[in-house]
Structure 1
Amino acid sequence: MRTIKYIVLHCTATSQITRVETIKKYWKNNLGWKHNGYHYIIKPCGEIVNLTPIEEIANGVKGYNQNSIHISYIGGIDKTGKPQDNRTLPQKASQVQLLRELKKRFPNAEILGHRDFAGVHKACPSFDVKQWLKSIEF
């Protein structure tokens, strides 16, 4: 079993109507990845889709994937492509549920946003994870 140091929150940086299969095809065909970008992806309706078993590595944050679990929500940009926290209430509820489950299993894992890692120059997940965690009394 891998040692999990991080639980990383992401956004897909796509429209909220983007399908999971479209995202998976992008990773494979456009980026040439052999592995998915996330372990879990959360649809706007709140459905949690497990893309990669947590025992396996996903391509979420270059240099940190060996010790991370990656969770993304579909969305994260506005109609012009600028970063926007547009998580639906069901997506937020599913994030909380999934984070609580994973923290029980990996109590020492730190919850971070993709943008919180050194050398990352993107807005992902389009919200401040540490502030959000305080606001939900996680």
Structure 2
Amino acid sequence: MNGRTSMKYSQMSRKESVRVLAERSSNFKATTTELARKPQEQILTNEIEELKQKGNLVQQENVELHKKMTLIRQENMELYKKVYSTRDVTAASTNTIIPYGFSIGEDSAVPIHLELSQPKQRC
């Protein structure tokens, strides 16, 4: 080989070396980025699964609380019926006249307004 050919070959091999190194560097960066991305994706996937499980637990708790509320409402209605049915029976049986014009009956819930006044003088 003459001087020019070897110089040309050497320049080409340098260019080729630089190109190969650049390509390897690019591949290395891509691989490194991908390796870094996978753990992040796995962490996010795990967090999503954990949140789904928590959501399911909250939903189950909500259903249980709803059932409890329904039972409490039913008990409340039964107690309400008992109280007001005995009140009506009691009111009907105690509707008697008391001296001085007072009576106890259904109108007992009506507000009464009383006032103080000076005694009238007799002449």
TM-score, scaled relative to structure 2: 0.17
Structure holding more helix per residue: 2
Greater strand proportion: 1
Q: Of the two, which has the highest radius of gyration?
A: 2
